[in-house]
């Protein structure tokens, strides 16, 4: 499969990079656990970047590319579900979009707040617009996403004519694409730090043992990216499950190493590493975690 970017995708990526550049330079010291920016959300919406999935010539592959690039930013913004899942739900479904499984309603839900569209995945796909009675805010959460938990669900939810397996596949693609961007940004942040941090008279990055582990982190990050892009183009159940599995497995391994390289700095709010790694911590538990994705891949491949 040729995953090279076509001319349209290159143009979209370049336009997105230009839009994102001012937001990359935000002052990151003492940002707290979650960093959001309504100006970024507005710019992405007005730029049409989250609507590319509705164009059959661009499709989920281009949407996944956009999600990966946005995830690299220090700001948390709901792009993955809006760009990748919303096209099968319909243009009249508005974001932010929150996905929950009907048997796992007590997990922290990313971007859940009043006015969000909550999509419930079960034997059918239903949705409702959250009101204050449905949402319990979680201001003390440390996931680097704004999160809430569901305190109630209405019975008169909208039913969508969508195959639950199709939505689950898109959810996995969205998860893998977002994790790919988060890993890339976290690794870049650490590489910059160890290149500048002096120890024993030379930069930490010059020590061979650290270079080996950084190389392994880069290999894993690359693998997450390519599996996510492949799954976004094929939308095959096994491809999506394997992409999500590898994303969660790599996040578990790489995040541990990255915080080790940062020393105490990696566990404080004075350095932005947590803005990517703490998000990855929440993503590693979605859709049954690594075990759930591995089982789904095995069942899809071998029945």
Q: Report pLDDT digits (tens) over 239-297.
A: 999 999 999 999 999 998 898 888 756 566 777 888 999 999 999 999 998 999 999 99
- Output the six-digit token pair for 195: 């290149």
Where do we find the tokens 């859940």?
112
pLDDT confidence band for 147 (50 / 70 / 90): very high
Percent of the chain whose pLDDT exceeds 70:
94
| 205 pLDDT tier (thresholds 50, 70, 90) | low
- The mean pLDDT of 163-179, rounded to a whole number, is 97
Distance between CA atoms of 147 and 279, rounded to whole angstroms? Answer: 11
Average pLDDT of span 78-96: 93
Q: At a CB cut-off of 8 Å and minimum separation 6, what does 4 contact?
A: none
| pLDDT score for 89 | 95
pLDDT of 33 reads: 80
Only one residue has tokens 């590898």, namely 246
Phi/psi of residue 160, nearest 5 degrees: -105, 140
Q: Which residues contact 211 (CB under 8 A, 6 or more apart)?
A: 205
* Highest-confidence segment of 25-34, 148-157, 191-200: 148-157
8 A C-beta contact, residue 164 and residue 125 = yes
* 247 or 303, which is more confident: 247
The span from the CA of 272 to the CA of 145, in Å, is 13
Q: Extract the tokens encoding 45.
A: 């919406």
**Mean pLDDT within 192-207:** 72
CATH code at 164-302: 1.20.140.10
Which residues, listed in sequence order, are joined to residue 160 by a DSSP beta bridge? 125
Q: How far apart are CA 157 and CA 72, in angstroms?
A: 34
Q: What angle do CA 117, 122, 125 make, to 5 degrees?
A: 45
């Amino acid at each position: 499969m040729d995953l090279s970017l076509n001319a349209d995708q290159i143009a979209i990526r370049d336009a997105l990079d230009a839009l994102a550049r001012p937001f990359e330079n935000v002052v990151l010291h003492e940002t707290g656990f979650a960093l959001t920016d309504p100006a970024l959300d507005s710019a992405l919406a007005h730029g049409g970047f989250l609507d590319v999935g509705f164009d059959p010539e661009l499709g989920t592959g281009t949407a996944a590319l956009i999600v990966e690039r946005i995830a690299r930013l220090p700001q948390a913004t709901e792009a993955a579900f809006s760009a990748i899942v919303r096209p099968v739900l319909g243009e009249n479904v508005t974001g932010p979009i929150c996905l929950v499984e009907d048997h796992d309603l007590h997990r922290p839900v990313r971007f859940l707040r009043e006015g969000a569209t909550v999509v419930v995945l079960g034997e059918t796909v239903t949705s409702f617009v959250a009101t204050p009675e449905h949402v319990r805010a979680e201001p003390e959460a440390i996931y680097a996403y704004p999160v809430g938990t569901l305190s109630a669900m209405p019975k008169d939810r909208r039913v969508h004519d969508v195959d639950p397996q199709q939505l689950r596949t898109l959810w996995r693609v969205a998860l893998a694409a977002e994790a790919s961007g988060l890993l890339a940004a976290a690794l870049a942040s650490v590489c910059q730090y160890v290149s500048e941090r002096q120890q024993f008279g030379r930069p930490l990055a010059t020590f061979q043992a650290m270079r080996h582990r950084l190389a392994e982190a880069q290999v894993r990050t690359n693998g997450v990216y390519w599996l996510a892009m492949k799954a976004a183009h094929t939308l095959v159940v096994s491809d999506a499950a394997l992409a999500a599995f590898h994303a969660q497995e790599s996040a578990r391994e790489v995040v541990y190493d990255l915080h080790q390289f940062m020393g105490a700095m990696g566990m404080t709010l004075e350095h932005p590493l947590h803005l990517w790694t703490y998000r990855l911590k929440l993503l590693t538990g979605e859709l049954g975690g690594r075990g759930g994705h591995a089982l789904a891949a095995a069942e899809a491949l071998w029945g």
